[in-house]
Amino acid sequence: MTLQEQIRSNRFRSVIVVFGFVVLLAVIAGLIGLVLDLSIGIFALVFAAVYGIFALLRSRSMVARLTHAQEVSESELRPLRRLLENVSIGAGLPVTPELRLVHDDAPNAFAAGLRPEKSFVGVTTGLLKTMPKRELEAVIAHEVSHIRHRDTYLMTMATVFAGVIALIADVGFRSLAYGGRSRGKGGIIVLVVAIVGFVLAPYAALLLRMSLSRRREYLADAGAAEILNDPEAMALALQRLQQDSTAIKYADAAVAHLWVESPTDRVETERPGVSALTSMFNTHPPLADRIAAMEEAGGFRLAEQLPADVPFAAEMGLV
Amino acid sequence: MLWLWILIGVLVVLAIVAVLGYNRLVRLRNECDTGWANIDVQLQRRGDLIPNLVEAVKGYAAHERGVFDEVTRARAAVQQAGGPASAAQANDILTAALGRLFAVAEAYPELKASENFLRLQEDLTDTEDKISAARRYYNATVMRYNTAVQSFPWLLFAGPFGFRAREFFSAEGDTGVPQVSFSTAT
């Protein structure tokens, strides 16, 4: 799949996602209207639309807050900024994304933003302390690939819509549970369907969001290898992530799909009660599979032992 | 009557294919242009840094005239280069000349310690990294464009419409284009 095809496929998927969520939203609002009151259903729908638009507009700062990513001033971390600039040039991005730093010992990175011009790449301090330059470059290239493929755009939309659905379903469920059905219409069947719908809707949205994310990771790995012309660097970086066991402190499920490696897997499953379905809800494919894909693409085998290179932070005297 | 309709249908399909193909070639050509502009910006930036560097070194090593002339000539050659291939060649010569300039600088401890010189050296290294990044992207876009222009059936009307294969930004055939293929596993 070429880059342009990938971008177009992502645009198409975005339309599907939007459409899917609108349908899902309409069903939930319809259930609320049916079981409780028509005006409440309409109110829920309008509220969801307003909330959704607001969330899209605010998504940039929302992601920054959820990931605890801090802005880095122009003069700070120049070697890292240059690395990001070079990777962006190699990827042919029109502008270099903004650089953000997450003060966390777990090595990880993420990308976010609706448009390439307004995107940012966040890296953790742990990543800088763990990865040598070559692998750090690969991780950054992975994130830049997400931006170039418009993955960030699609995923931001999916995140926002999933949040809206969860909220509305929650409202419906609660008003059903606490408000009783004083003005209840329809029989017991409608009620049961509504309850099941309210309970399952957030998971349906979540499932859709997750399934979108996983294939993307392979493509971003491949994109990173192409940008740097170095699949081995990407594989090495993934292996280093695999051998590291630091969990990220602020693992927020809402932004799990943004990171280069799933930040939540090691903490706990996404939500209680879905342990049996965890692999379906995983935001990322297993690291071993991703390394294997790189090895196959580049025609090499990684050794068990990682090369003992100097981490970037130490090399640049940033620690 | 039926034959006429079939003929019209075939013509319509051909027209659609031709329009899509034309648009694709235009898009690929634009990507090449953007890629080349990226390289050009960095070559320019490098060219702008060099006079300052030469001045800085002259301040400590005024008699090393030969190296200064060499660098200045190489810089002019890059700016006058006609196309990507000759620009790449001139750029390689400039890189070699700069290498000699820095080798000369090694002999002057005060120069090496000067803040100005260190910053210029850092900026130049960074620009070289950026040129090679821009080169990777440009050569990849040229590879895609050339493949499209030279493959059937587009080669039939690529010529008449003015789509000509582009030069790589490389001095000696080494394009730096990734030779790996990716299967998009799921």
Range of weakest confidence among A21-25, A263-267, B60-64, B113-117: A263-267
Q: Is residue B178 part of a domain?
A: no
User: CB under 8 Å to B143, separation ≥6 — which residues?
Assistant: B168, B175, B177
Q: Print the domain residue range for B25.
A: 18-158
- A317 lies within 8 A of chain B by CB: no
- A85 lies within 8 A of chain B by CB: yes
Position A144 confidence tier, pLDDT thresholds 50, 70, 90: very high
- A186 lies within 8 A of chain B by CB: no
- A214 lies within 8 A of chain B by CB: yes
Position B186 confidence tier, pLDDT thresholds 50, 70, 90: very low
> Using an 8 Å Cβ cutoff, are B116 and A69 in contact?
no
User: CB under 8 Å to A71, separation ≥6 — which residues?
Assistant: A98, A100
Report residue A192 as tokens: 């049961």
- Residue A267 DSSP SS3: coil
- Residue A110 DSSP SS3: strand
B182 vs chain A: nearest CA distance in angstroms?
5
- The Cα A127–Cα A136 span in angstroms is 7
- Residue A281 DSSP SS3: helix
Closest Cα to residue B78, out of B172, B175, B169? B169
Q: How many Cα atoms occupy the beta-carbon half-sphere of B139 within 13 Å?
A: 23
Strand (E) or helix (H) holding A109:
strand A109-112
Q: Is residue B139 part of a domain?
A: yes
**pLDDT digits 0-9 by tens, A286-316:** 788 888 888 887 778 887 777 777 888 777 7
Paired residues of A123 in beta bridges: A101, A109
Cross-chain residue pair A297–B183, CB shorter than 8 Å = yes
In this prediction, residues A219-224 reach a mean pLDDT of 85
> Does B29 have pLDDT greater than 80?
yes
Among A89, A219, A297, the residue with its CB nearest the CB of B38 is A89
Nearest CA in chain A to B135: A90
What are the angstrom distances between the C-alpha of A219 and each of A39, A216, A314? Answer: 45, 5, 31
- The Cα A91–Cα A99 span in angstroms is 16
Cross-chain residue pair B180–A299, CB shorter than 8 Å = yes
Q: What confidence score (pLDDT) does residue A275 get? A: 37
* Phi, psi angle pair for A180, to nearest 5°: 65, -175
Nearest CA in chain B to A212: B186
Q: What is the overall mean pLDDT for chain B?
A: 85
> Does A184 have pLDDT greater than 60?
no
Cross-chain residue pair B186–A298, CB shorter than 8 Å = no
Range of weakest confidence among A134-138, A185-189, A230-234, A256-260: A185-189
In this prediction, residues B159-172 reach a mean pLDDT of 82
- Please tell me the total count of domains within chain A: 1
How many beta carbons lie within 10 A of that of residue A43, not counting itself? 15
Cross-chain residue pair B184–A90, CB shorter than 8 Å = no
Q: Is residue B183 part of a domain?
A: no
In this prediction, residues A49-72 reach a mean pLDDT of 80
Q: What confidence score (pLDDT) does residue B4 get? A: 92
Q: Is residue B120 part of a domain?
A: yes
Range of weakest confidence among A8-12, A136-140, B98-102, B180-184: B180-184
Residues of A in contact with B25 (CB under 8 A): none
Regarding predicted confidence, which is higher, A74 or B79? Answer: B79
- The Cα A97–Cα A106 span in angstroms is 22
Q: What confidence score (pLDDT) does residue A73 get? A: 78
B121 vs chain A: nearest CA distance in angstroms?
14
CA–CA–CA angle B96, B98, B99 (5° rounding): 60
Q: If DSSP states are collapsed to H, E and C, what string results for chain B?
A: CHHHHHHHHHHHHHHHHHHHHHHHHHHHHHHHHHHHHHHHHHHHHHHHHHHHHHHHHHCCCCCCHHHHHHHHHHHHHHHHCCCHHHHHHHHHHHHHHHHHHHHHHCCCHHHHHCHHHHHHHHHHHHHHHHHHHHHHHHHHHHHHHHHHHHCCCHHHHHCCCCCCCCCCCCCCCCCCCCCCCCCCCC
Position A264 confidence tier, pLDDT thresholds 50, 70, 90: low
Tell me the residue type at A181: R
Size of interface A-B (CB pairs under 8 A): 63
User: CB under 8 Å to A47, separation ≥6 — which residues?
Assistant: A168
Residues of A in contact with B178 (CB under 8 A): 225-226, 229
DSSP 8-state class, residue A116: G
Residues of B in contact with A214 (CB under 8 A): 186
- Please tell me the total count of domains within chain B: 1
What are the angstrom distances between the C-alpha of B87 and each of B40, B91, B107, B173, B178? Answer: 10, 6, 31, 14, 22
Nearest CA in chain B to A81: B126
Cross-chain residue pair A218–B184, CB shorter than 8 Å = yes
- The Cα A226–Cα A138 span in angstroms is 10
Q: What confidence score (pLDDT) does residue B183 get? A: 45
- The Cα A205–Cα A159 span in angstroms is 9
Range of weakest confidence among A118-122, A188-192, A295-299, B40-44: A188-192
- Residue A2 DSSP SS3: coil
- The Cα B92–Cα B71 span in angstroms is 12
User: CB under 8 Å to A51, separation ≥6 — which residues?
Assistant: A164, A167
> Does B131 have pLDDT greater than 90?
yes
Paired residues of A110 in beta bridges: A122, A259
> Does A218 have pLDDT greater than 90?
no
Q: Which residues of A are catalytic?
A: 143
Range of weakest confidence among A172-181, A233-242, A274-283, A306-315: A274-283
DSSP 8-state class, residue A316: T
Cross-chain residue pair B186–A219, CB shorter than 8 Å = no
Residues present in chain A in total? 319
- The Cα A224–Cα A143 span in angstroms is 8
Residue B131 buriedness (CB in 10 A; 0-12 / 13-18 / 19+):
buried
Nearest CA in chain A to B137: A90
Q: What confidence score (pLDDT) does residue A163 get? A: 74
User: CB under 8 Å to B7, separation ≥6 — which residues?
Assistant: none
Q: How far from each other are the two terminal CA atoms of chain A, in whole angstroms?
A: 41
Tell me the residue type at A32: I
- A229 lies within 8 A of chain B by CB: yes
Q: Is residue B13 part of a domain?
A: no
Among A85, A91, A218, the residue with its CB nearest the CB of B130 is A85
Paired residues of A122 in beta bridges: A100, A110
Regarding predicted confidence, which is higher, B79 or A169? Answer: B79
Paired residues of A101 in beta bridges: A70, A123
Q: Is residue B57 part of a domain?
A: yes
CATH number at residue B145: 1.20.1440.20
Q: What is the overall mean pLDDT for chain A?
A: 76
Residues of A in contact with B136 (CB under 8 A): 90, 227-229
Q: Is the peptide bond before A132 cis (omega within 30 degrees of 0)?
A: no
Q: Is residue B102 part of a domain?
A: yes
Regarding predicted confidence, which is higher, A289 or A188? Answer: A289
In this prediction, residues B167-174 reach a mean pLDDT of 73
Cross-chain residue pair B182–A82, CB shorter than 8 Å = no
Instruction: Give the mutation candidate from B24, B29, B119, B180 for the A interface (greatest A CB count, under 10 A).
Output: B180
Nearest CA in chain B to A222: B182
Position B44 confidence tier, pLDDT thresholds 50, 70, 90: very high
Cross-chain residue pair A92–B38, CB shorter than 8 Å = yes
Q: Print the domain residue range for A136.
A: 3-315
* Phi, psi angle pair for A109, to nearest 5°: -155, 160
Position A199 confidence tier, pLDDT thresholds 50, 70, 90: confident
Residues of A in contact with B183 (CB under 8 A): 293, 296-297
DSSP A31-82: HHHHHT-HHHHHHHHHHHHHHHHHHHHTHHHHHHHHHTEEE--TTTTHHHHH
